[in-house]
Structure 1
Amino acid sequence: MKKVVLDVLQSRGTYYEIGLQLGRELRKSALYNHHLKRRRRSLRDYNVDIIEAKRLFLQFAPGLWEELKGLSEGLQWSMEETVHEYSGFQQEWIESGCSSLAKDGLYVRNYDYHPKTYEGRLLLVKPSGGYASVGFSGRGIGRIDGLNEKGLALGFHFVNRLKPGEGFICTTIARIILDTCKDSDEAIDVLRKLPHRHSFNYSLYDRNGKAAVVEASPRGIGVYHSSTLSCTNHFQMNHMKKDNRHYLKDSLKRLSVLQSGQKERLTMERALKLFNDGDSPIFKKAYDSWAGTIHTCVFDCETLQCLIGFGESAEGVKIDFQGWIEGVDISIRKITGHFDTDVRFLFMHEG
């Protein structure tokens, strides 16, 4: 089993100050050199209209434009380079897994992807002018999943990357929702209005107990909601199914397992075991095929307590996000996980 250690970073201040800290930390990390190597491919693969990107950020989340300015300063990059590489506008996304369940006040999610893409940062941020949130970093300013101070939790679930549109990728969309929406209804409204680059499910759960899945593609939106919901990697609404991939067996299997588990009362510990145990049908080990479980997050949307499982069969690290919002720093600086793979995690110094 490979031992992997991620960082826990805490930031309070203006969006610019948060971006500045992020940029300085990133520049010192092992990941930075890999991002430098990635630049040539990024420039070849997609173009970014910085004027259009700025317009959209100012419309939906103006604070994040300021964070990009701070990130630019921290990286010592031009604003054009920073927006191209880290804004999440017009970028690409390789297929990934991901499963979630929302019930009994808890939101639990597995993030399944390739280790080389993982940034290895759990971020707690409290920006002036936006909602505080806890979540895993994805593509710079974006988030892989998270919980905000209003008790709104969310995650995304890859569906398809064919026929991309002009818009934001999943990680930036997740961050916009966390920073600007207080509940599932507000998140649904924003997801209807945002331009989507690729086809994804967005699973939502809020403090009021409202769970929802937004099926979003560049060509349309579908929404369904309930007090209990499971979500994997395919669209279920008839008018959205045309954007599904042909192979859905694994996604359908995981969804069936999750739905069968909805009958039992969920606790944070039970949720972690269901999703993170190495023998669970929800936990995936296909790391070299872009489909290995990297982390599990369990969020209590009412108390704002978090339980983080990194790697396989993790004991779980508890984080009092409510206390952190009130000004009490957490003592955790690192989280260790173990993985049954030889695939490299690029954010670590490995030889």
Structure 2
Amino acid sequence: MKKIHSDIIQFRGSHYDLGYKHGEQLKDSLIMKNRRKHWKIRRPRFTIDTNDTKHAFMKFAPRIWDELEGMQDALKSPIEEIIRDFGGYRIESPRSGCSVYTGKDFLIRNYDYHPKTYEGRFNVFAPTDEGYAVIGPAQRITGRMDGMNEKGLAMGYNSIHRKKPGSGFICHMIGRMILETCASVEEAVEFLKEIPHRHTFSYVVLDEQEETYIVEASPRSVDVRQSNACTNHFEMKQDENRHHLEDSYKRLNAIIEQKDHATDAHKAFRMMNDTDKGVFSNDYRNWSGTIHTSAYLPKEKQVWFSIGGDQEPNIFDFGKWLEGENFTENRMYGEVDTDLGFAHI
């Protein structure tokens, strides 16, 4: 078992100032050292066009471009490097697992990925310039793996495949944009129909009105269905699915078989986080091990979060935070059953 942590980063202010703070925190961090080491070994399989990237941000989330400029000023790096490492537009994202289960008043998500990509940053941000306040774990600093905003819109995504990529945004930046710009599941669905997608993912959204939508999005088309369980395959766009889906169906079937007992948020959290229930995964070497389990309760404005399996969650009252009461904790701890390294440790 490896003991790991996630830092709780709270910020109220402009996007530029948030980006500058990110940059100052990252200057001498292991995250940046690992990122530079990565690019010494591998050449990017994508091209960076600064003007094209800026134009895309200006159309969908212009203040996030301000955040990237704040990071550039703090890190004193060329904007091309900032876009490459933190922009989330026309870049590659590794394969991953993940499972999502919802009820009328909760969305619970297992984040399944490779440890070396996990940066251990849990962000709570209330912008003073534009956009909704958002709480959730960060991916590549600027993106969000899952989360909830001040309107009670909760979001999680699941990877389908990376074949035939398009010219668009990748999953974690799309997740961030959904939460900062959309107030309801209907707005989120329309946003996902409009934004260009780099890769093929399912996006699961729930709000206070108790309806869950699963958006099956690829660079080629977007379809919408209603269900309360989602793993790593499409139900509607089956021609987009990978050939080997045994693990995805295994986790989905485990959820379906137990959902009659997962009648409230606590029981559903246990179904997803307990290592003996068939949903939690220890397959870290194949980019599909569960690193965290998160739960979002839109009506209560609560977030539950645990690192590793068989854990009691850390509970965050996002409603009180929105009223100005900061969280007293600066860090969360957990244990993951792997000997692989993490990006921030």
* Shorter-chain TM band: over 0.9
Task: Say yes or no: does 1:294 pair with 2:291.
Answer: yes
Aligned position for 1:100: 100
- Equivalent residue number for residue 319 of structure 2: 322
Distance 2:19 2:256 in 1: 40
CA contact (8 A) 2:100 2:110 kept: yes
Contact 1:170 1:200 in 2 (8 A): yes
Q: Provide the secondary structure at the position in 2 that maps to 1:263.
A: coil
Q: Aligned residue for 1:161?
A: 162
Mapped to 1, the partners of 2:76 and 2:301 lie a distance apart of 35
Alpha-carbon deviation of 1:309?
1.2
**Structure 1 residue 339 displacement after superposition:** 1.2
Q: Note the alpha carbon deviations across 1:175-228, whole angstroms, 9 max, x for none.
A: 0001000011100001001110111000111111120000000111110125xx
For 2:192 and 2:13, locate their aligned partners in 1 and report how far apart those are by CA, in whole Å. 27
One-letter amino acid matched to 1:21: K
CA contact (8 A) 2:262 2:268 kept: no
Where do 5+ consecutive residues of structure 2 fail to align? none
Shift of 1:43: 4.9
Distance 1:92 1:40 in 2: 16
**Aligned residue number for residue 211 of structure 1:** 212
Residue 271 of structure 1 contacts residue 298 of structure 1 at CA under 8 Å; is this kept in 2? no
Look up the match of 1:231. Answer: 230
- 2:156–2:203 CA contact under 8 A, matched in 1: yes
In structure 2, which of residues 247, 267, 270 is the aligned counterpart of residue 270 of structure 1? 267
In 2, Cα distance between the equivalents of 1:26 and 1:280?
A: 38
- How big is each residue's C-alpha offset from its partner over 1:64-101, in whole Å with a ceiling of 9 and x where there is no partner? 11111111122221222211221011111221110001
Equivalence map 1:1-351=2 (5 Å): 1-40=1-40, 43-128=43-128, 129-225=130-226, 229-237=228-236, 240-264=237-261, 266-348=263-345
CA RMSD of aligned residues (A): 1.3
Rate the CA distance shift 1:242–1:59 in 2: closer, same or farther, 3 A: same
Aligned partner letter, 2:232 = N
TM-score, length-scaled by structure 2: 0.97
Structure 2 residue matching 1:197: 3-state secondary structure: coil
Residues of 1 paired with 2:195 and 2:42: CA distance? 23
1:309 to 1:165, Cα distance in 2 relative to 1, 3 A: same
Question: How far apart, in 1, do the equivalents of 2:169 and 2:104 lie?
Answer: 32
How far apart, in 2, do the equivalents of 1:51 and 1:161 lie? 25
Alpha-carbon distance between aligned partners in 2 of 1:2 and 1:80, rounded to the nearest angstrom:
35
Q: Deviations over 1:273-296 (max 9, x none)?
A: 111112120000011111100000
Moved more, 128-137 or 79-88: 79-88
CA contact (8 A) 1:298 1:308 kept: yes
Q: SS of the residue aligned with 2:33? A: helix
What amino acid sits opposite 1:281 in the alignment? G
In structure 2, how many angstroms separate the alpha carbons of the residues matched to 1:299 and 1:286? Answer: 25
Question: In 1, distance between residues paired with 2:44 and 2:189?
Answer: 34
**Following the alignment from structure 1 to structure 2, what is the Cα–Cα distance between the partners of residues 274 and 48?**
42
Paired with 1:72 and 1:38, the residues of 2 have a C-alpha distance of 19
Percent identity over paired residues:
39
Q: The residue matched to 1:296 in structure 2 has which SS?
A: strand
- Counterpart CA distance in 2 for 1:119 and 1:26 is 11
Distance (Å, rounded) in 2 between the aligned partners of 1:87 and 1:303: 32
Task: Give 1:326 shift.
Answer: 1.0
For 2:13 and 2:263, locate their aligned partners in 1 and report how far apart those are by CA, in whole Å.
36
Structure 1 residue 321 displacement after superposition: 0.8
List runs of 5+ in structure 1 lacking aligned partners.
Answer: none
* One-letter code aligned to 1:244: N
In structure 2, C-alpha distance between the alignment counterparts of 1:217 and 1:307, rounded to whole Å: 30
Contact 2:261 2:267 in 1 (8 A): no
- TM-score after normalising by structure 1: 0.95
